[in-house]
Each structure stands twice: as structure tokens, then as C-alpha cells.
Amino acid sequence: MSNRYSRQMLFSPIGEEGQKSIRSKHVLVVGTGALGTGNAENLVRAGIGTITIVDRDYVEFSNLQRQQLYTEKDAENRIPKAIAAKNRLKEVNSDVTIHAHVLDVTKEELEQLIDGVDLIVDGTDNFDTRLLINDIAQKYSIPWIYGACVSSYGLSYTIIPGETPCLNCLLETVPLGGATCDTVGVISPVVQMVVAYQTAEALKLLVGDKKALRQKLVSFDLWKNDQMAINVNGVKKKNCPSCGEEATYPYLSYDHETKSTVLCGRNTVQIRPPKKIERDMGHLYDVLSAQEGVVEQNPYLISYTLADKRMVFFKDGRVLVHGTNDIAEAKTLYHRILG
């Protein structure tokens, strides 16, 4: 065993056998933004055997404040995040097998990506994808580690299929927030704190030390100096459609997908939520007005223009993203605003 891991192996809960175990494992990191890059780098430095990273976006200058694998050159050249991350990670540890995919994760992609995966780490920025990960993890009995951060607030929870409540259980009981980094900002220390919780739990699972898992949902606000660890075992539901006794994995079905359609000849993508909703237009107007860009409203819709893109929001939940025919780009903009 190389001495590059000697300090990690001196930590008795890992040791030589634990290091061998880490070396034999495959982790999937979904999303290579702030949380994804932090976790990916930690795992690669720890000597993970194989890591698969996936993201649909490219590097922008606004990412550099908190997404630690990227450089100004990556932003200038708009390098896809998964590719830029892989390039940097190979420089960190050339002995790790790294698979990078530039794609928008849907059920079909996840079904292919999880082959041989031992653990999934959440690096996403929206609940559409998280609920998809949750159902895939439950269906194939793969542990996954939820993480989220915005402003100075962060939270994390480790989900073990068949043992803990799943994300679908938590959504009905625990407030998990809806703001985004693009609407209220984020500071880098909160990213690093969530990453620390996620990677620590990942290492416990990778060495097989399940008894050491935190077993509680942790949430904190670094600016307000608040921290809580919440026992959520009681929210696990026998009739949960994602993890219950007769699970149907609803978020793997078409009915629960966010629908995206390119409108022919209009350089526009329409995005529609899985279910018809009544959007709070007053709240949305306030959120958009606090951002860069131009906001206009009439009794039927809100128009938000930023640079060369214009988003039109309707009361029934539909959004038109003008200025692109790229569904992945449109969904990225959509989730940046709506979470």
C-alpha cells in the first residue's frame, strides 16, 4: 500500500484493511457544483478505486467562489464541469479510475450509471434530481448521502435503503427549504461544512463501519451560529411509495418527471412541472426583482430577462426559456431560480 495514504491509515477506524476497502469501491457523484467538486476531490485524495461524476452544466465565473476544482481558464472556455473536474482530479490522483459524463440526468441515464456503484453522493441543486436519485437508490438498495446548502445554511442526511427514512418520507415532515444560491447567495464555508459531513459519512460506509454513521439529519447556520441534529427515524413510513413495503418508485415514472420540450422554430424550451400548480406570482416577482436582470409583469405572466435569455413564468407552473434550444441549459436556468 502506497505511503500516500499513510496518515489516513494511521486513523484506526480505517487502517490498512479500510484503505483496501476504499480502494475497491465505486462512488457516483451526481452534480459537480460546489458539493460535488468538494466530495469528489476528498474521495479521490482518499484513494477511492473508481468515481463517476456527472453534470449537465459548464463552468462560469460565478462558480469559482465556491466550486473548488475549477479555474478561470475553465470559465473563460466554458468547459463542461464534468470534464474540467476530471482533468483536475487526474492531476490530484492519477491512480483513480474516473468516469466523467456531460449529460442531464434522467431515469434512463441513472439506470446505466449505477451499474457497479456502491454509494451515491448528492451534489445536485434541485429536488427533481434528488427524488430521482432517492427512488433509484431504494430500487437497487444503494446508500446515498443527501446534502444541500444555501446562504449560510446547510444540511445533510445519510439514507440507507431498508433502514432509514428516505427523502420522500422526509419531504412530508422536515422543511428542507426552497431558496437557491442564485436567489439568496451562498458563502463558501457552508459548502465546506456540508462536504465535510458528506465525505465523513461516505468514508464510514466505504470501510463498512455502519455503526459510526451519524443516524440523524444535521442542519446548521454558520452565520447565526446555530446547529441541530434531528432524529428523523420516526418519519419513516410503511406506506411510503419510494421506500415502503409496497414501493412503486414514483419518481422513476413519466408522470413525476419535469417535462421539457423544444418549441419548433422559436429558439425556446418549455418546462412544465410534473403536476399543475398555482404559482405564487407575487412571491416570484419579489424574488426575481432582487436579482440582476429586468422583471416585467402583467395579470397573466412574469417575464425575466438576463443577458441573452428571457424566462416567462405562467400561473400554472409552466416556464418558457427563450434564447436556447438546449434543454439541459434551460433546465439549469430553471433550477437556479426555482430550486
Domain spans, the chain? 3-252, 258-338
CB within 8 Å of 295: residues ≥ 6 apart: 285, 288, 289, 302, 303, 304
Task: Produce one character per residue of 177-201: b if its CB has 16 or more CB atoms within 10 Å, e if not.
Answer: eeebbbbeebbeebbbbbbebbbbb
Is pLDDT at 320 greater than 70 in this prediction?
yes
- pLDDT of residue 291 exceeding 80, the answer is yes
| Topology annotation, domain 3-252 | Rossmann fold (3.40.50)
pLDDT at 41: 98
pLDDT at residue 255 greater than cutoff 70: no
Residue 178's pLDDT is: 63
DSSP helix/strand/coil, 224: coil
- 89 half-sphere exposure, CB direction, 13 A CA radius: 31
98: part of which helix (H) or strand (E)? strand 97-102
Q: pLDDT band for 2, please (50, 70, 90 cuts).
A: low
Q: What is the mean pLDDT of the chain?
A: 91
- Position 118 confidence tier, pLDDT thresholds 50, 70, 90: very high
Q: Is the pLDDT of residue 1 over 60?
A: no
**Among 57-61, 151-155, 170-174, which stretch is predicted with the lowest mean pLDDT?**
170-174
Q: What was the pLDDT predicted at 18?
A: 98
In sequence order, the 6+-apart residues with CB closer than 8 A to the CB of 317 are 272, 273, 275, 276, 277, 278, 279
pLDDT higher than 80, residue 306 = yes
- pLDDT mean over 296-309: 87
Give the separation between CA 147 and CA 248, rounded to whole angstroms.
Answer: 24
pLDDT at 47: 98
**% of the chain surpassing 90 pLDDT:** 65
User: Cα torsion for 292, 72, 191, 46, to the nearest 10°?
Assistant: 160
The CA distance from 194 to 246, in Å, is 33
Which H or E run contains 271? strand 268-272
Residues 6+ away with beta carbon under 8 Å from 235: 165, 169, 170, 172, 173, 174
The number of C-alpha atoms within 13 Å of 15 and in the hemisphere containing its C-beta is: 5
pLDDT band at 271 (very low <50, low <70, confident <90, very high): confident
Residue 182, classed as helix, strand or coil, is: helix
> How many whole angstroms from its chain centre is CA 216?
19
Q: Given this chain, do its domains 3-252 and 258-338 carry the same CATH topology?
A: no
For residue 23, give the amino acid letter: R
Cα distances (angstroms) measured from residue 111 to each of 139, 172, 176: 10, 26, 26
Q: Residue 198 in contact with residue 120, Cβ under 8 Å?
A: no
Find where cell 451534489 sits. Answer: 123
Residue at 308: amino acid letter: D
Let me know: does 186 contact 34? Beta carbons within 8 Å: yes
Three cell numbers written together for 276: 399543475
The per-residue pLDDT for 217 is: 96
**Is residue 328 within 8 Å of residue 104, measured between CB atoms?**
yes
Class of domain 258-338: alpha beta
Residue with cell 480502494: 23
At 176 the pLDDT is 64
Q: Per-residue b/e over 134-148, b at no fewer than 16 CB within 10 Å?
A: bbbbbbeebbbbbbb
Task: Name the pairing type of β-strands 26-30 and 119-122.
Answer: parallel
pTM reported for the whole predicted model: 0.81
